[in-house]
Amino acid sequence: MTVPLVQVDAFADRPFAGNPAAVCLLEGPADEAWMQAVAAEMNLSETAFLHRDGTGYALRWFTPVAEVALCGHATLASAHALWERGRAAAGRPIDFGTLSGVLTAWRDGDSIVMDFPATPAEAADAPAGLGEALGLVPRWTGRSRFDWLVEAASPEEVAGARPDIAALAAVGGRGVILTAAGGRDGADVTSRYFAPAFGIPEDPVTGSAHCALGPLWAGRLGRERLVCHQASARGGTVGVQLRGDRVLLSGRAVTVLEGRLAAGPPRRSG
């Protein structure tokens, strides 16, 4: 059995920008070991696996080395792939059942909007070696449900950081978000994201990181709507709107590859 696969650049308005995600369009639940093997083969930050489940879709995300509980760019890529291939009604929202509950995506003009849980960070002392691994002196550190947050002195310090990736892998948690207020082209917030312990030395554009960045900077800047720039080599823009304990993330997406996996999931016995 072959499986349709789409590779999508998420949080991008042109090919070869933003964050690439592979989307596997399954007929039903698949073996976890097979999904992990596919994700390792694709070797992208995340590979999404989804199948119809009632009126919505069941969705899981895998990095090259592990399953994750929340992923923004691969959810955006999944919604884009479903609409583009006619598997979801063009004018209707899509509900995704995930490890982080139901996530809903809908279209707003050329953008896709996603309703995600907020994961606000609490101030916390930096673990030993975090500043040294980033090569800077943090202005503030905090801990969210998933990640460490580190505030740098300026957007330029964020963009210019050359972290010790091996040292960051030992920090603990899913990853490290490096951030500062302001940014290029009038951005409200600049960030970068590193998750080497999950097989991602630096993620190009990280939707789920903005579930923590949104609450942090909305409070500090006194506004609910933010334009956030992730300053990786590929770069990307994430629209953020804080709504209580939820965060609306928005961005665009572009398909760059369509094909089929020749090695489909193993058949289930019984």
Name which of 200, 198, 181, 201 is nearest 189 in CA terms.
181
**Alpha-carbon 70 to chain mean position:** 7
Q: Say which of 41, 46, 151, 224 is annotated catalytic.
A: 46
- Give catalytic status of residue 84 as yes or no: no
Q: Enter the DSSP assignment of 242.
A: E
Q: Hey, is 40 helix, strand or coil?
A: helix
Q: Hey, is 90 helix, strand or coil?
A: coil
Q: Which pair of tokens denotes residue 178?
A: 């490096």
Q: Hey, is 247 helix, strand or coil?
A: strand
Q: Which pair of tokens denotes residue 228?
A: 């956030």
Q: How many CB atoms lie within 10 A of CB 65?
A: 12
d(C-alpha 152, C-alpha 137), whole Å? 7
d(C-alpha 25, C-alpha 82), whole Å? 9
Residue 64's identity, in one-letter code, is P
Active site residue ranges:
46
